[in-house]
Chains A and B, each alone.
Chain A
């Protein structure tokens, strides 16, 4: 009998990033620099989702995200779920939340901002929780979600 579904095996240890909005799945691959990850990675996107319509999912074997990486992830995809897997079991579920203050992750879009000219780490505060817009602590420029560029 022909298979109707592609089977993707579960990972023994690692991280599953779920509920990714489909249009940012590959951006997360880039943000987390998964190109250079030596272990197995499964990337799925445009999968049916009741809540998102279409969603992405990324399974990364033998990798556990640092707080800094979770911070970067949250800027691109604020509402994803992280499943931490050990011995094929989900031992922890993390709901990524948009941080109130983001240091050194997002580039300020203002070309005249001091962070684009001197060795100063960028600092962004959440400006509008609903719109996920950010405000540069230094030059006070407000950036909408679609203007956000990572360093």
Chain B
């Protein structure tokens, strides 16, 4: 999609003349809402053979089974054929081929490229070297915009709106890219944020500054209790990511700092739903799964519908 937040982004888009889905910061409010409406149509009828005769490439330069299966299922349910790899060690990348060359080569075969890469900015760069639409399925710790779309869809579906949502984000707010992107994407919809994290993992200054610039109401605290839960509409739990810590002693200090139990939801608002990008470790106890407020598995399922919508949008297929 055109980068609408800057003139230069728009110019870059004009030069490349193509549809890409690279970053949440490229999306306008209208883009988001129209994609959500399309996703709802796919939820009503997931099997629509709109991509008959098309080829979707899924290039996973780092493993991500959950995201890859979701995209490939979306492509299959749309009637496309899927090519690609999930292990770059079996490709020319391991022989030292540059990303540019790999993208150029795959562009000869595919109508749309879904890619995940361990380097940040890889998807944006790929979009500059090919005319084939690029969908970013995660570039390092930077962006994972289809995850954000499924988060938004889950909020929209469970709350009936994206406007004026009270949302509490809990856990690793420093390294968690899903919470960063969600803050960006919700900025169009007058949210109220509560950031709950240990001091080591608090929301980075850049995103707090983003809230200030966009007049978004937010507060921060370390305590996670019923009081925090009972005031909110969406409880967005995140995993403390062991792989992000260079000092494992620091990880040990915070790894089990927050744990949601079913009893903590007893006096929550009726519309409250618990979201989590998955996988979870200890931050949501298994008894929460029995609560009607647990929504994380449906949230993952919503990824299928939003990804169907994104793929079709990139190929200019009107629903």
A residues at B contact (CB < 8 Å):
100-101, 108, 110, 112-115, 117-120, 125, 136-142
- Whether a CB of chain A sits under 8 angstroms from the CB of B46 is no
Residue from B7, B98, B119, B124 in contact with A100 in the complex, judged by beta carbons closer than 8 Å:
B7
Residues A114 and B25 in contact, CB atoms below 8 Å apart:
no
Residues of A within 8 A of B8 (CB): 100-101, 125, 137
Report the Cα distance A88→B180, complex, angstroms. Answer: 56
- Whether a CB of chain A sits under 8 angstroms from the CB of B235 is no
Report the Cα distance A114→B141, complex, angstroms. Answer: 12
Residues B140 and A112 in contact, CB atoms below 8 Å apart:
yes
Residue from B6, B118, B206 in contact with A125 in the complex, judged by beta carbons closer than 8 Å:
B6
Residues of A within 8 A of B178 (CB): none
Report the Cα distance A138→B128, complex, angstroms. Answer: 10
Residues of B within 8 A of A137 (CB): 8-9, 12, 121, 124
Residue from B99, B125, B141, B206 in contact with A112 in the complex, judged by beta carbons closer than 8 Å:
B141
Report the Cα distance A100→B11, complex, angstroms. Answer: 12
The total of chain B residues at the interface (CB under 8 A) is: 24
- On whether A140 and B25 interact (CB within 8 A), knowing A101-B8, A112-B141, A118-B99, the answer reads yes
Residues A114 and B98 in contact, CB atoms below 8 Å apart:
no
Most chain B CB atoms below 10 A, which of A101, A110, A136, A139 = A139
Residues B99 and A142 in contact, CB atoms below 8 Å apart:
no
Residues of A within 8 A of B142 (CB): 139-140
Residues of A within 8 A of B122 (CB): 114, 138
Residue from B9, B23, B98 in contact with A118 in the complex, judged by beta carbons closer than 8 Å:
B98
Residue from A101, A119, A139 in contact with B121 in the complex, judged by beta carbons closer than 8 Å:
A139
Report the Cα distance A115→B119, complex, angstroms. Answer: 9
Residues B125 and A138 in contact, CB atoms below 8 Å apart:
yes
Residues of A within 8 A of B100 (CB): 118-120
Residues A113 and B120 in contact, CB atoms below 8 Å apart:
yes
Residues of A within 8 A of B98 (CB): 118-119
17 A-B pairs with C-beta separation under 8 A: A112-B141, A114-B119, A114-B122, A118-B100, A119-B100, A120-B100, A120-B125, A125-B9, A137-B8, A137-B121, A137-B124, A138-B121, A138-B122, A139-B120, A140-B23, A141-B120, A142-B206
- Whether a CB of chain A sits under 8 angstroms from the CB of B143 is yes
Residues A138 and B140 in contact, CB atoms below 8 Å apart:
no
- On whether A113 and B7 interact (CB within 8 A), knowing A118-B99, A118-B100, A137-B124, the answer reads no
Residues of B within 8 A of A115 (CB): 121
Q: Closest CB of chain B to A102's CB: distance in Å? A: 10
Residues of A within 8 A of B140 (CB): 112, 139
Residue from A100, A110, A114, A140 in contact with B125 in the complex, judged by beta carbons closer than 8 Å:
A114
Q: A114-B99, A125-B6, A142-B206 are in contact. List 4 more A-B contacts (CB 8 A).
A: A108-B121, A112-B141, A119-B98, A140-B23
Residues A110 and B6 in contact, CB atoms below 8 Å apart:
no
Q: Closest CB of chain A to B67's CB: distance in Å? A: 19
Residues B7 and A114 in contact, CB atoms below 8 Å apart:
no
Residues of B within 8 A of A141 (CB): 120
Residues of A within 8 A of B139 (CB): 139
| Interface 1/0 per residue, B71-86 and A, CB below 8 Å | 0000000000000000
Considering the complex, give the chain A residue whose CB is closest to the CB of B143: A140
Report the Cα distance A119→B129, complex, angstroms. Answer: 13
Residues of B within 8 A of A101 (CB): 8
